[in-house]
Structure 1
């Protein structure tokens, strides 16, 4: 994945040294082939762990540290030279020339595969992430997705891996501005002390970034994983290593030990550390620190005229990595990083498998390797390399001749691909805007034509009409409280309240908990206006009312400490407000077997309400749609050619024969069970569509359109419990 100063063929001048045009891997007078080899090791770890193990190997962190070393070290050397220009534009052009061509080619190929392989329900997400990848803010796009509970179960993006390139691109520009601006302002003033000042500045920024990474990791690891400043310390450490290279002095035996330990740590990192959960926190020091040690292990070696190859002056592990196979692999690391992930994701989408077996994984890696070699040879290198000055003719070449040069033609093709990809992404987003506008009519659908739940509960006749919402409308068929921002997001621990139904009524139902309580608002709002009660919301994404001390996000099991904080705030507030009833969910799916369960951590909630004399409308939770341990979207399935049955699930998989809440009614008389399962599932099967209405807008939230069709049945059950009508 490392893109700056990738290795060229090991050509030599007459003196046996590599050409001076090669930057970044040249330290103390000789070319660092071992760092090219380390790049090869890193990309091999990334690809192998992605394809076969489904884990983070630490290889990306190796890349980040190497990027900081190459790019940061080069800029530091430029800033310390009084004869070097500090104009940023040439550096920016150089970045664009090195980073964008291969990226555009892979994005264009991925766009074609998305249309051929993925259902159209995923095209908008791909369009958004294509633009984010081209604009180098993909990490922030993914961070916002990770924090969005409504998209928590979304299929993995074929462009997810580009987050690290976005982090690098942002770092390159920020570091360029910082170092050149600092040198411009203080180079004359500080003179020979400029190096020390830069080291102090970078050290302060590294410490600040590392401390921030720990804080962000503890607060919300899923979001921190993609945070640029939480990752900056990994690149800054590499830059600091570049600044310290001239001062390395140690015997060969110590260099060998350090090199061997560092390489062993890098290779074993993916097996020993779960980077998905632990990075970018303190455990990321293992791959990053090991990379820095490996860099320094062979740094500043004195020239030896008796050796014809500079690599011979390095420790044994470094010489191993300087061998041709590793160097060749490192040469195409960037392209291989770009290709392997989308090919893996598209194969899984096409095959329907949750993971690649050995042969499938080997085929993905082989094809990725071939495409990476072709991309490196015919896209990266021609557009990256300049002709030597000595070869440039003295006379001006006519424009019509220059336009026929292969590099000009290739550059034009890549540019056109980028423009076409951008235009297509914006066009599809505009199409989705129109679809959302069309979706506003869903609230006015005829109950005769679209009976929805009434087809199950009241055996209403179902005419043959197109399903609504459509697969493209479903994602945005959300309750009004979501639009009104009346549900706290993952980072917010404040208690947010909004009022619906008959806002002037004296009777109150408090709707409290997570989004699985929230989606009942549509029906409760209608009932409140019909039967003279108001609905006050106390909601937070992914956070039911619970006494759990270490809650997890249902669906991906990431730690959710802010759910506990919110519960500690909302329960006293609910008890103080003392509504006539609290409406909340009372069950959850089993994580270890079929069916549903009432978690033990809910019992303390029932006791608190019982002690306060507040009755609870305890709604059995929504059936979650899961296949092979992963949530699936009925809209995706339908868009891929499935039907209401094939895109549904067996009832026994998601609902137990007996509502678990009923087991606690005798102990808590104020607990009033509600169960709408018969309005969602048939006796043996939960279909994706009932009464011409799509039931789910993702894998576990009802569409607002289907919720409207459940209003009468919910009203019947609430009336039986409350006696209000």
Structure 2
């Protein structure tokens, strides 16, 4: 934690106390997984030195120089913290699991901005458990930074009061202000610790009383001569008792679930006793030990030691996948941390302090801003690297998927083998697709429901789907349009295609959907199972739901105003087909300039599904193949469509049954789901062939 210079001679015993406090933090973190009270002592000493320095300025009538204090203080503490954060940002990419990278990045930013404690509190981090994060210890530095900003404001307010009313005592006003903060914060700390100890541990409000304790200690210590002190023997006893309490409080009393409540008074009172008597010149004074040049010298590196020990500890336990190092490994961690801290103090902290000691405030502020920018830039660079790696992985995965798709296409060309220009790149060596188990799931994929705002007639609105739309494709690439926001009128240049009918229209929608995506069409589908193109009451439709379906569909055509309508104009049967003439007459009424209506010939129907026959076939059984009357007769819809300009027909039975023979598998792809429905996988392979035929039909209409 942070060391603040003052004009008074630096007490070596307090420097030694700094080292003892941080060493306790390190030891407890490494071996004991308990709270030592060392951090709390550091908070007290920070406020002690801060208040002592400003109190002397008030006594001497010197300007407080708040801006200079702020810039100088943060210029001394931020660079070393920045170096630690950047080291963690760099090494975490190799040591920490990917799952915690976002937390490390967020904590790096929070630490650089001195809000780490609130980040931990807001994210319900438990100080004693959870995923180890190498920057978690910055919580106390964040609270400390808050005090460095706010405490001078309290002192500045007192200075203004004294300037306005010179008879007032600055020290009494300070004592009153810090006393009030002490009482209010301690009361809050006791309550919030009992209510939510995990949150209280990081709550600045629950820690203010510890800083107020340090400020009151500074005011009391400066008046020791006037208030009287105990004799030399008692001072010695008091000092050693304080040190013993500091060393043993975390061992004797398990305070991990009680901090930062009133129990923290125990180590703080012990630290106060040392501050009050540690400079006693007696031969057996505790100050003789704490002020020894080695111990006090290590105290100079205490801030650096606090910074580096936790990342080193976390790096070790993560690398070995252990909760805690053993005795030997822990000792090595402590020695390495101490050695690194000494080097950082000697070659970074001291040179920087000497160089900035005579800088103007704007230079200090610039240094602080540069350090924060380095952290933010480092995290941004890390995130950019992750994004680049993720994009590279996505592209590689996409390439693998495309490679696999091309392999599957080569092994399962399906209807592509019907194209005279098609040349197979491989001989099928794999079983046909889809598998028998997948056959029930081979219906054409559904699309999102048409917007309720279109307010189509009942059944039409209920059954309407948006299979593809240029604006939805844009939304998939980063746009904002959703199916629920589509306008009823399509944009100029976009063709609205409406598929209407029963499941035989639906199974061809796989190919037409892809054609629409390629050509920038908005493709809508309105279908109902077993409902054939016919007026209401026509006996061709035996199910009751069809009585309202077709009237609603016909009433929806004009509001939708499609440029292309596609339906099925015949009903296939086991022994032939029926022309849906009454339905065709109704459909012809919706032909108008700028609109093309296509009536497809139905798909053949069989008594037994060819795929099911093939699955049950054993060696010696005849092949599962069949002809059908539809394949032997001309398209009966041709005479009907010739009467109406803009109306045409399309016979795609040759795609389902090439060379007038229906078979279970074409191009290593199973054609039939059941007695009369085509599989989605097969229809997908017909896309190019369907597109050619559909565009020709549109041109002839």
Spell out, residue by residue over 1:8-62, the C-alpha distance to the aligned partner (whole angstroms, 9 max, x if none).
xxxxxxxxxxxxxx54xx4xxx542110111111111111111111111111111
The correspondence for 1:159, drawn from 135, 147, 150, is 135
Which residue is 1:564 aligned to?
Answer: none
Asked if structure 2 preserves the Cα contact closer than 8 Å seen for 1:213 and 1:231, the reply is: yes
Give the Cα separation in 2 of the matches to 1:362 and 1:264. Answer: 22
Which residue is 2:21 aligned to?
Answer: 42
Q: Please list every run of 5 or more consecutive structure 2 residues that lacks an aligned counterpart in the other structure.
A: 395-404, 406-436, 439-701
Which residue is 1:716 aligned to?
Answer: none
The correspondence for 1:199, drawn from 166, 171, 175, is 175
The correspondence for 2:375, drawn from 413, 421, 425, is 421
Asked if structure 2 preserves the Cα contact closer than 8 Å seen for 1:79 and 1:179, the reply is: no
Which residue is 1:604 aligned to?
Answer: none
Which residue is 2:240 aligned to?
Answer: 260
Which residue is 2:102 aligned to?
Answer: 124
Q: Kindly name which structure, 1 or 2, has the bigger radius of gyration based on alpha carbons.
A: 2
The correspondence for 2:269, drawn from 254, 269, 289, is 289
Spell out, residue by residue over 1:85-121, the C-alpha distance to the aligned partner (whole angstroms, 9 max, x if none).
1331100111112211110111111111101111222
Asked if structure 2 preserves the Cα contact closer than 8 Å seen for 1:146 and 1:152, the reply is: no
**Which aligned pairs between 1:294-373 and structure 2 lie closer than 5 A?**
294-298=274-278, 312=281, 316-373=285-342
Which residue is 2:349 aligned to?
Answer: 380
Which residue is 1:96 aligned to?
Answer: 74
Asked if structure 2 preserves the Cα contact closer than 8 Å seen for 1:56 and 1:274, the reply is: yes
Offset, 1:386:
5.2
Which residue is 1:69 aligned to?
Answer: 48
Spell out, residue by residue over 1:259-310, the C-alpha distance to the aligned partner (whole angstroms, 9 max, x if none).
11111110001202323211001111111111112111246xxxxxxxxxxx
Offset, 1:418:
4.5
Asked if structure 1 preserves the Cα contact closer than 8 Å seen for 2:274 and 2:286, the reply is: no
Give the Cα separation in 1 of the matches to 2:366 and 2:323. Answer: 39
Give the Cα separation in 2 of the matches to 1:224 and 1:242. Answer: 26
Relative to structure 1, the CA distance from residue 113 to residue 428 in structure 2 (aligned partners, 3 Å threshold; closer, same or farther) is closer
Count how many residue pairs are aligned between Structure 1 and Structure 2: 391
The correspondence for 1:274, drawn from 234, 237, 254, is 254
Asked if structure 2 preserves the Cα contact closer than 8 Å seen for 1:297 and 1:315, the reply is: no
Spell out, residue by residue over 1:379-413, the C-alpha distance to the aligned partner (whole angstroms, 9 max, x if none).
11111125888xx9xxxxxxxxx9xxxxx9x9999
Offset, 1:178:
1.5
Question: What is the SS of the residue equivalent to 1:276?
Answer: coil
The correspondence for 2:116, drawn from 138, 160, 167, is 138
The correspondence for 2:214, drawn from 230, 235, 238, is 238
Relative to structure 1, the CA distance from residue 428 to residue 87 in structure 2 (aligned partners, 3 Å threshold; closer, same or farther) is same
Give the Cα separation in 1 of the matches to 2:216 and 2:93. Answer: 44
Asked if structure 1 preserves the Cα contact closer than 8 Å seen for 2:82 and 2:371, the reply is: yes
Spell out, residue by residue over 1:342-400, the C-alpha distance to the aligned partner (whole angstroms, 9 max, x if none).
100011111111210122112211221121111101111111125888xx9xxxxxxxx
**Which aligned pairs between 1:199-238 and structure 2 lie closer than 5 A?**
199-238=175-214
Which residue is 1:33 aligned to?
Answer: 12
Give the Cα separation in 2 of the matches to 1:67 and 1:414. Answer: 20
Give the Cα separation in 2 of the matches to 1:356 and 1:32. Answer: 35
Relative to structure 1, the CA distance from residue 253 to residue 71 in structure 2 (aligned partners, 3 Å threshold; closer, same or farther) is same
Q: TM-score normalized by structure 2?
A: 0.52
Offset, 1:191:
3.4
Asked if structure 2 preserves the Cα contact closer than 8 Å seen for 1:58 and 1:266, the reply is: yes
Give the Cα separation in 1 of the matches to 2:312 and 2:273. Answer: 33
When the two chains are superposed, the root-mean-square deviation of aligned CA atoms in Å is 3.4
Give the Cα separation in 2 of the matches to 1:33 and 1:153. Answer: 36
Give the Cα separation in 1 of the matches to 2:36 and 2:54. Answer: 29
Which residue is 1:3 aligned to?
Answer: 3
Relative to structure 1, the CA distance from residue 186 to residue 55 in structure 2 (aligned partners, 3 Å threshold; closer, same or farther) is same
Give the Cα separation in 2 of the matches to 1:56 and 1:113. Answer: 27
Asked if structure 2 preserves the Cα contact closer than 8 Å seen for 1:265 and 1:290, the reply is: yes
Give the Cα separation in 2 of the matches to 1:374 and 1:412. Answer: 25
Asked if structure 2 preserves the Cα contact closer than 8 Å seen for 1:51 and 1:361, the reply is: yes
Offset, 1:241:
0.9
Asked if structure 1 preserves the Cα contact closer than 8 Å seen for 2:192 and 2:200, the reply is: yes
Question: What is the SS of the residue equivalent to 1:167?
Answer: helix
Q: TM-score normalized by structure 1?
A: 0.50
Offset, 1:145:
1.9
Relative to structure 1, the CA distance from residue 264 to residue 99 in structure 2 (aligned partners, 3 Å threshold; closer, same or farther) is same
Relative to structure 1, the CA distance from residue 432 to residue 275 in structure 2 (aligned partners, 3 Å threshold; closer, same or farther) is farther
Q: Please list every run of 5 or more consecutive structure 1 residues that lacks an aligned counterpart in the other structure.
A: 6-21, 300-310, 393-401, 403-407, 440-448, 450-459, 462-725
Give the Cα separation in 2 of the matches to 1:119 and 1:153. Answer: 17
Asked if structure 1 preserves the Cα contact closer than 8 Å seen for 2:158 and 2:170, the reply is: no
1:57 aligns with 2:40: no
Which residue is 2:162 aligned to?
Answer: 186
Question: What is the SS of the residue equivalent to 1:156?
Answer: coil
Relative to structure 1, the CA distance from residue 312 to residue 279 in structure 2 (aligned partners, 3 Å threshold; closer, same or farther) is same
